[in-house]
Amino acid sequence: MDIRPILSTLRRHKTAAALIVLEIALSCAIICNAVFLIDTRQDRMNRTTGLAENELVRLRYTGIGRDDNAEALTRGDLTALRALPGVRAATVANQVPFGNSSSYSSVNLEPDQQNPTLDASGYVGDEQLLETFGLRLVAGRDFTADEYVEWEALRAPGSEVEISSVILTRATAERLFPGEDAVGKSIYSGGENPQRVVGVIEYLIRPGDNGSPADAGLSMVLPIRRPYTTGSYVLRTEPARRDEVQKAAAAVLEQRNPNRILLDSETFEQMSDDYYAQDRAMAWLLVSVCIALLIVTALGIVGLASFWVQQRTKQIGVRRALGATRGQILRYFQTENLLLATVGIALGMALAYGINLMLMERYELPRLPAMYLPIGAVALWLLGQVAVFAPARRAAAVPPAVATRSI
């Protein structure tokens, strides 16, 4: 189709054409960035944790006053919990991913190192920590009984108790010893005494969002038995009996010592849902913005096309009288819209990168991948063709005799 008549017509309606181009450009820029942000939020919410997520229950208690027998009570609690039907393993952990606490420690390769090699999240627990969390060893071994230390003994004034061993995640081991076997090597964390790496687990996500997304797997496990007053009871259950175990565990702990307060009793999914609540809300907000923009853009295209059909009734009639078919009239308006959309999309792509640079600078967001630009372009091209179709059909349906009598 010869586009010169279309360009000539658009030059006579510069203001209306410019408004549609600007509307499409803004929509393209905002939608490209919004879709990217939605995808980023989805990736974040779908992150792997390394845990047996559908089997975990956490119970968090606080004592009333000082409990001098907290360690003995904790040992008895764990024995009772592990005996419950449906419980596969139980431990007291200092933190759980997506919980309300986090612990981090700098990790060095030399005792007198000035700047840490990395910061890792430190998980501590007893002999059943790895089994409870569902962590998989990919190298080395679990801790032996003589490697575990008691929390109170470690924290006592003048204590000479030392942590001699550590288990790293694969990501931590690779960051510390790239291309090497980490098992048997030593690191320094929290003091001048070395900890020997005895094992490497596949993955264990950090409890919070400290650091960049690339640091999410930088974790380690330390052999420290903690009382319930400094951590949470974590149970790994048979998935089908998890709700039953959750209620039974709370009842058992209440029976063993009613002089403490249950702060939380949650499945891992409940903790994860709470943790990602803002991400879900933001994703749905952005989806709503995209839908609203598409609707407004479509209405603008429909309105402009309808206005132009009304203004060009005589012109359309002349073309029909000279032999133009309905299909040619339809293609005329579709081509016209395609040209406007293409100009708007080209401007929108440049604007999309500008908005992304601003977001990167102010909110430390990643760079907008180029793949999102054609997604936005195709969406707006299709939207334009669909929106203009109805007015174009009305134009094509005008009888030549009626059109030629129009003023």
Strands 232-237 and 56-63: antiparallel
Q: What distance in Å separates the CA atoms of residue 243 and residue 54, rounded to the nearest whole number?
A: 11
Least confident of 134-138, 166-170, 260-264: 260-264
Instruction: Give the residue from 100, 29, 3 showing the smallest Cα distance to 375.
Output: 29
What pLDDT was estimated at residue 319?
75
Q: Environment class of residue 401 by beta-carbon count within 10 Å: exposed (0-12), middle (13-18) or buried (19+)? A: exposed
Beta-carbon count within 10 A of 294 CB: 16
For residue range 334-359, what is the model confidence (pLDDT) as tens digits? 888 889 899 999 999 999 989 888 88
What is the pLDDT averaged over residues 252-274?
93
- Integer angstrom CA distances of residue 172 from 40, 99, 118, 187, 209: 24, 21, 8, 11, 16
Q: What is the rounded CA–CA span in Å between residue 237 and residue 51?
A: 13
Distance in angstroms (rounded) separating the CA atoms of residues 404 and 322:
11
pLDDT of residue 406: 44
Residues 265, 267, 268: CA angle, nearest 5 degrees: 125
pLDDT value of residue 272: 94
Bridge partners (DSSP) listed for residue 2: none
**Quick one: tokens of 318?**
């002349």
Band (pLDDT 50/70/90 cuts) for residue 67 is low
The DSSP 8-state label assigned to residue 336 in this structure reads: H
Whether residue 41 is predicted with pLDDT greater than 70 in this model: the reply is yes
Neighbouring CB atoms inside 10 A of 144's CB total: 11
Angle subtended by helix axes 242-256 and 70-82, to nearest 10: 140
Question: For 6-20, 33-47, 49-63, 365-379, which range has the lowest pLDDT when averaged over its residues?
Answer: 6-20
Give the type of residue at 338. L
206 or 309: which carries more pLDDT confidence?
A: 206
In contact, 215 and 156? CB cutoff 8 Å: no
- Judge whether residue 404 has pLDDT over 90: no
In this prediction, residues 377-397 reach a mean pLDDT of 87
Judged by average pLDDT, the poorest of 65-69, 118-122, 185-189, 363-367 is 65-69
What value does the mean pLDDT take over residues 321-338?
82
Alpha-carbon distance of 86 to 243, in angstroms, equals 10
Q: How confident is the model at residue 401 (pLDDT cuts 50, 70, 90)?
A: low
68/65 Cα distance (integer angstroms)? 10
Cα end-to-end distance, the chain, whole Å? 27
The conformation of residue 131, written as its DSSP 8-state character, comes to: H
Q: At residue 407, does pLDDT exceed 50?
A: no
Cα 88 from Cα 86, distance rounded (Å): 6
**Considering the entire predicted model, what is its pTM?**
0.83
Mean pLDDT value of segment 47-62 = 94
Q: Which of 114-118, 133-137, 383-387, 397-401 has the highest mean pLDDT?
A: 133-137
User: Which tokens in the block code for residue 224?
Assistant: 């420290």
DSSP-derived letter for residue 389 is H
Residue 65: pLDDT band by 50, 70, 90 thresholds? low
